[in-house]
Structure 1
């Protein structure tokens, strides 16, 4: 069904010359333009002209790759499915609205026709021509629009049916894109976590290397600790004695 819809889009945009290109471009991977030309049985220039016309509507995307041996660039193409479906949806909606306008006009106005020439005129045009055909001189007759209005009604029904199918395909494509996006986000999260873990590992390694490069601290000897303790004791004794002497002197003064 999707290929049929895409065929309809491409033929309406480019013409019948593009028939057969749809199955080639309706892939998940980009396709070499020379392969497209070969499978269509046309020249590379003709193929490029078709692709450029489709590209003007934004319905295809391409990537450019350089041939390492020959040195020239080759383009690879594929359909942008969502854009194609949206394009067709908008086209169908527009066409349907145009038919509705025509139906309203046919119901509200009178049209005249020359049966010999098969030409049709609205009331203002017929009045200017004095209700007589300039080509053959035959007098106009009032045109019966009932058949045309019925046909237009059938066309609007067809458009509605096709719109429903297109909307279903759009829903499917949105679901695919959503899943693809979710997978991409999960992959990105894993990559971020991996990068963070690697960065942490590098930081830890640098810390270890830094510690290893520092000179080793000498252990304190027992003698030093004893001397420190003795110094502390002597200082504390001196403080006590000085306090006592201060107290005695203060008492004598009293």
Structure 2
């Protein structure tokens, strides 16, 4: 169904010369323009003219790649499916509105026709011509619009059916794009987490290297023990000195 709708879009934009291009461009990957030309059985210039016309409506996208051996650039193309479907939807809506306007006009106004020449005029035009055909001189007759109005009504119903199909395809494509976007976001999130983990690992490694380059520190327990010993030693010295001073003072009294 999608290819059928795309065919309708492309033929309306470019003409029948573009028939057969739809299945080639309705892919997830970009297609080499020389392959497109070969499969269509036309020259590369004719292929490019078709692709450029479609591109003017924004219905295709392309990427350019350079041939490493020959040095020239080759273009690769594919359909922008969502844009194609939206283009067709807008075209159908516009056409439907035009038919509705014609139905209203035909239902509310009187039209006159020259049966010999097959020409048609509204009431104002017929009045200016005195209800006589300038070509053959025949008197105008009132045109019966009932059949035409019915035909327009059937066309409106057809447009409604086609619009429904197009809308369904748009919803399918939106669902695909939504899933694709979710996968892309999940992948991006994983890559961000990976980068953060790698950055943390580098920081930790730098800290370890910096720590290893610093001189080794003595354990705090050794410092405390040394300080206690020094305090005990100084106190014992003070006691000895005080004893000596007491002895000296007692000798002097004698």
How many Å apart are 1:139 and its aligned residue?
1.1
Cα gap change, 1:223/1:4 in structure 2, threshold over 3 Å: closer, same or farther? Answer: closer
Shifted more, 139-148 versus 223-232: the winner is 223-232
Partners of 2:165 and 2:250 in 1: how far apart?
A: 110
RMSD of aligned residue pairs (Cα, Å): 5.3
SS in structure 2 at match of 1:20:
coil
How many Å apart are 1:234 and its aligned residue?
5.2
Shifted more, 136-145 versus 231-240: the winner is 231-240
SS in structure 1 at match of 2:28:
coil
How many Å apart are 1:233 and its aligned residue?
8.0
How many Å apart are 1:197 and its aligned residue?
1.0
Cα gap change, 1:188/1:223 in structure 2, threshold over 3 Å: closer, same or farther? Answer: closer
Cα gap change, 1:200/1:247 in structure 2, threshold over 3 Å: closer, same or farther? Answer: farther
Q: What's the CA shift string for 1:67-93, capped at 9, x where partnerless?
A: 111111111000000010011011101
Partners of 1:128 and 1:251 in 2: how far apart?
A: 158
How many Å apart are 1:222 and its aligned residue?
7.1
When the two structures are aligned, how many residues end up with a matched partner? 254
How many Å apart are 1:103 and its aligned residue?
0.2
Shifted more, 219-228 versus 182-191: the winner is 219-228
Q: What's the CA shift string for 1:145-179, capped at 9, x where partnerless?
A: 00000000000000000000001101111111111
What TM-score does the superposition give when structure 1 sets the normalisation length? 0.88
How many Å apart are 1:131 and its aligned residue?
1.0
SS in structure 2 at match of 1:120:
strand
SS in structure 2 at match of 1:134:
coil
Cα gap change, 1:29/1:221 in structure 2, threshold over 3 Å: closer, same or farther? Answer: closer
Q: Which runs of 5+ in 1 are unaligned?
A: none
How many Å apart are 1:38 and its aligned residue?
0.8
Q: What's the CA shift string for 1:45-86, capped at 9, x where partnerless?
A: 111111111111111011111111111111100000001001
Equivalent in the alignment of 1:63: 63
How many Å apart are 1:244 and its aligned residue?
21
What TM-score does the superposition give when structure 2 sets the normalisation length? 0.88
Q: What's the CA shift string for 1:85-132, capped at 9, x where partnerless?
A: 011011101100100000000000000111111111111111111111
How many Å apart are 1:214 and its aligned residue?
1.5
